[in-house]
Copies of this chain bind each other. A is one copy, B any other.
């Protein structure tokens, strides 16, 4: 017997949270329990959800507003036997109907080892992306096309080359660039990969181009293979517009032999409310990694599109922890459930590769030391305006970032690095955007 565990934060000024937890555990599994005859109970017990804990937060007297709201964190274990081993089935079970039942938020998910074993996870993962690029000793640098809609192949090629020659490791399509007559995916890949080769002859550096995978759901795998055929060495995918299961199927496809970068488009419709939705570390962390994203973009805490730093850190943890038994896998079995044993069962850690965290939006070179302080070396520094808006041009924008990354990786102060004669690009960037070191 194995169980997946959901943790909810449930807000209510007066509810009996223990009763509420029981009604969830029964209502979302066997439907009814107390009225069942004993013989039927024995037969149905393996399908019964279990309340693991109910932690009630009573508001402080005289406190004000949301900090003083009454809520409970409720953990429920759902028997694997109740649902098929796919993300839609798990989510519909634990948060399908329940999501509509008042002020309630799904804040964590633990998978059973058996459930998790059905997911290959990222095909390349953090280390596989590093291997593809041959870069192991520093954070990576990604840049984003600036304006792409309405531009033709020569415009894209020029922009691509400028980014590539500045020393970026990855270039991503704009997520709002769809199949279009000016820059259709096959031609776009060919043109951009030629620009990548040209730049590589100058920089000696490899580069991944994450081309935006779009189209009808049933054609995505074929479109991906066409792009790969044309030379694409990475994909960008708007996961939440299509569903986690689609990402899972793409990443598990043996013929899709390139890393997949998950874009968080539409995630803001789900994670930011304190009272509703799904926590960012579940939505953009655990589920993205389980479904097989090699890189995951999410709003950084540094710029204009803001996610709190602690949520960034929770996403990072979900994407990169190797202590899967603690963080991902439910250490809970039916013996615990029925009180026949006090000890958690040892379960093997499922071997999901880690995913590269990509905090995005509002990034400029002066933020690089902050990013490394928060994320360490295993992070992709991702910039759009912070590269294209450099006063000396796009290529200089890339070089400014690389200079900042080199300095911060070696614990050299950005101000000191900027004072060096060959780091003029960094000096210029710090003058424009400031130094948040």
Contacts of A179 in B (CB 8 A): 84
A266: chain B residues within 8 A (beta carbon): 91-92, 95-96, 99
Residue from the list B28, B148, B307 in contact with A176, Cβ < 8 A: B28
Point out the residue from B84, B102, B304 that lies within 8 Å of A215, measured CB to CB: B84
Considering the complex, which residues of chain A in the window 274-301 have a beta carbon less than 8 Å from any beta carbon of chain B? 275-278, 299
- Total contacting residues, chain A, CB less than 8 A: 75
Return the contact of A270 from the options B84, B97, B246, B277 (Cβ within 8 A): B277
Whole-angstrom CA separation of A265 from B88 in the bound complex:
10
Most chain B Cβ neighbours within 10 Å, of A32, A241, A270, A272: A241
Nearest-CB distance from A247 to chain B (Å)? 10
* A241–B100 CB distance below 8 A: no
Residues of B within 8 A of A84 (CB): 178-180, 214-215
State whether A270 touches B269 (Cβ < 8 A).
yes
In Å, the complex CA distance between A291 and B275 comes to: 29
Residues of B contacting A241 in the complex (Cβ-Cβ under 8 angstroms)? 87-89, 91-92, 96, 243, 245
- Contact status B243-A175, CB under 8 Å: no
B-side contacts of A88, CB under 8 Å:
214, 238, 241-242
| Complex CA distance for A47 and B216, rounded to whole angstroms | 23
CB <8 Å contact, A32 and B214: no
Q: By the criterion CB–CB under 8 Å, are B176 and A93 in contact?
A: yes
Please encode chain A, from 152 to 192, with 1 for each CB lying within 8 Å of some chain B CB and 0 for all others: 00000000000000000000001110111000000000000
On chain B, the residues within 8 Å of A365 by CB distance are none
CA distance A177 to B200 in the complex (A): 54
Chain A 98-112 interface 0/1 with B at a Cβ cutoff of 8 Å (1 = within): 111111101000000
Query: A246 and B243: CB pair below 8 A?
Result: yes
Q: Are B97 and A265 in contact (CB under 8 A)?
A: yes
User: In the complex the two chains form, what is the Cα distance from A347 to B242 in whole Å?
Assistant: 30
Contact call B277/A100, Cβ cutoff below 8 A: no
In the assembled complex, how far is the CB of residue A91 from the closest CB belonging to chain B, in whole angstroms?
6
Q: Are B269 and A95 in contact (CB under 8 A)?
A: yes
User: Are A176 and B215 in contact, CB atoms less than 8 angstroms apart?
Assistant: no
Contact across chains for A83 and B176 when beta carbons are under 8 A apart:
yes
A136 to B276 alpha-carbon distance, docked (Å): 39
Contact in complex: B269, A106 (CB < 8 Å): yes
Q: In the complex, what residues of B have CB within 8 A of residue A306's CB? A: 102
B96 touches A175 (CB 8 A): yes
**Counting CB contacts under 8 A, is A38 at the interface?**
no
Task: State the CA gap A96–B174 with chains docked (Å).
Answer: 11
Inter-subunit contact A31/B146 (CB<8 Å): yes
How far does the Cβ of A151 sit from chain B's closest Cβ, in whole Å? 9
Does A197 sit within 8 A of B, measured CB to CB? no
If A96-B176, A100-B268, A243-B246 are given as contacts, then 4 extra A-B residue pairs at C-beta distance below 8 Å, sorted by A number, are A30-B149, A92-B265, A100-B264, A101-B268
